[in-house]
Amino acid sequence: MTHTVSVTRKTLRRLSLTMAASALALAAVAPAQAAENGKFRLGIVTFLSGGAAGPFGVPSANAAKVVIDQLNAGALPAPYATKGINGAEIEMVLIDENGGATKQVEEFRNLVQRQKVDAVVGYISSGDCLAVSPVAEELGAMTVFYDCGTSRLFVENKAPKFVFRTGLDAAVDNIGAARYLAATRPNTTRYAGVQQNYSWGQDSWADFTAAMKQTLPKADAVESQMPKLFQGQYGAEISAVSVKRPEIVHSSLWGGDMEAFVLQASARGLLDDATAILTCGESALERYQGQAPNGTIVGARGPFGAFAPQNALNTWFTGVYQNAYQMAPTYPASKMAQAILGLKHAAEKAAKAPGEVPAPAAIAAAFKGANFESVSGTVQMSRADGHQALQGISYGEYHFDAKTKKAELKNVKSFSGSCVTPPDGTEAQDWIKAGFPGAKCE
């Protein structure tokens, strides 16, 4: 499927003020002691400081605030028109994800054991998800990972009960990227990669190169660079890639790292001759002017942000988010909204009476294998024994019109979940190397 999406470029001059105000306002939403008034206490964990805050964490926190406010007001379209969660007001406890995995495990225990939250939605970092997952199972805490993408999540947690992920994993991102290149650039012969040197980047490159061997077998991986997480300066890596003269530069860099790499690679001429394919590129769609060349290929880790479909829920979400923050929601915001809607669906399905706050085990049982409607369309929790979402993915080319001051996504192609996702119980690398058996691609 091919179509064109238009996105109006919004000003970001107030970004720093928005970050500070959002963090302060959201942190004050919930008191330190557990509520005893029948409210649904919801822990929200995302980056409020550090390099991931501006592009990822703050939009996600803003999305959580606006969605919760609207839920409490009963202002959502069907099927989420009931107030709060099952009639119980949602009370948010916001936590900064910055600080590393050890700190996040401590914060998670505090949320569950001291703050007495009924559920936790959060986590961008794959390392944080891998660290928190076993603790969530140990404590019996209902936990929804909204963004982290490591393919190892349900490999290491083979029998999940309380942990769910409503977003997609890195394998889907990179199989989709390889399929997009096969569809739009079938004559590619040389490609390179720049990834962060931890589980997310390593897994992304492994899945992408394996997928390229299947979709474009004549293309060669001529260079791979693995800079440190949040390194910020990429001169050495750009030079190493440039001398190999690739036609495509694949990168799963995200947040500030991605934007810094694109700016530096453009300034050094790497992207004059090579096209970047950025699996997380949509998050900076409105900030690329003068940085990313037209034709840069971007993804949104699923049907999110500018790739979201036209449906009542996305129209509602885009409107309320834009009214609140004077900018369109990018994909991290869409994914946060999706996780909260999925939790509401499961909790209300588990409840036996109006106003009841179901136990975590009851919510988890209702969430397992559920189908629910979202800003991205229908979500099927049909992978990882009903704990992982199945959805499609889209990629498109960034173009900026200097006259209209509008960014566009051109040559958009979408791939169904069954085209880019391994069958349940099959590890991604095994499925890719076998040639995607059973894949259904329209």
State whether residue 82 is helix, strand or coil.
coil
In this structure, what CATH number is given to the domain that contains residue 229? 3.40.50.2300
pLDDT of residue 58: 96
Please tell me whether residues 316 and 297 are part of one structural domain: no
Tell me which of 289 and 32 has the higher pLDDT: 289
pLDDT in tens, 94-121: 999 999 999 999 999 999 999 999 999 9
- Domain membership of residue 316 (yes or no) is yes
pLDDT in tens, 377-417: 999 999 999 999 999 999 999 999 888 888 889 999 999 99
Query: How many angstroms separate the CA atoms of 164 and 106, rounded?
Result: 20
pLDDT in tens, 221-259: 999 999 998 899 999 999 999 999 999 999 999 988 999
Please tell me whether residues 237 and 344 are part of one structural domain: no
Q: What average pLDDT does range 420-431 have in this prediction? A: 92
- Domain membership of residue 441 (yes or no) is no
Query: Please, what is the average pLDDT of the chain?
Result: 91
Please tell me whether residues 178 and 206 are part of one structural domain: yes
Please tell me whether residues 270 and 400 are part of one structural domain: yes
- Domain membership of residue 356 (yes or no) is yes
For residues 282 and 298, the answer to whether their CB atoms sit within 8 Å is yes
**Predicted TM-score of the model (pTM):** 0.90
- Write the DSSP symbol of residue 282: G
Please tell me whether residues 358 and 233 are part of one structural domain: no
Please tell me whether residues 250 and 293 are part of one structural domain: yes
pLDDT of residue 23: 39
Please tell me whether residues 425 and 277 are part of one structural domain: yes
pLDDT at 55 over 70: yes
- Domain membership of residue 442 (yes or no) is no
Query: How many angstroms separate the CA atoms of 7 and 308, rounded?
Result: 12
Tell me the CA distances in angstroms from 94 to 47, 257, 319, 398, one per residue in order: 10, 24, 23, 34
- Domain membership of residue 439 (yes or no) is no
Please tell me whether residues 110 and 15 are part of one structural domain: yes
Please tell me whether residues 317 and 240 are part of one structural domain: no
Tell me which of 188 and 256 has the higher pLDDT: 188
pLDDT at 10 over 60: no
% of the chain residues with pLDDT over 70: 92
pLDDT of residue 198: 87
Please tell me whether residues 117 and 54 are part of one structural domain: yes
- Domain membership of residue 288 (yes or no) is yes
- Domain membership of residue 281 (yes or no) is yes
- Domain membership of residue 313 (yes or no) is yes
pLDDT of residue 385: 94
Q: Which of 20-24, 258-262, 353-357 is predicted with the least confidence, judged by mean pLDDT?
A: 20-24
Query: DSSP readout, 187-233?
Result: T--EEEEE--SSHHHHHHHHHHHHHHHHHSTT-EEEEEE-PPTT---
pLDDT of residue 37: 66
Query: How many angstroms separate the CA atoms of 336 and 315, rounded?
Result: 16
pLDDT of residue 441: 93
3-state helix, strand, coil in the chain (%, to 5): 40, 20, 40
**Which residues span the domain enclosing 252?**
170-306+391-433
Query: How many angstroms separate the CA atoms of 110 and 41, rounded?
Result: 13
Quote the number of domains for the chain.
2
pLDDT at 290 over 80: no
Cβ neighbours for 37, distance < 8 A, ≥ 6 positions apart: none
- 79 cis-preceded (ω within 30 degrees of 0): yes
Please tell me whether residues 86 and 21 are part of one structural domain: yes
Please tell me whether residues 227 and 249 are part of one structural domain: yes
Q: What average pLDDT does range 133-156 have in this prediction? A: 95
Q: Which of 25-34, 152-161, 187-196 is predicted with the least confidence, judged by mean pLDDT?
A: 25-34
pLDDT in tens, 122-142: 999 999 999 999 999 999 999
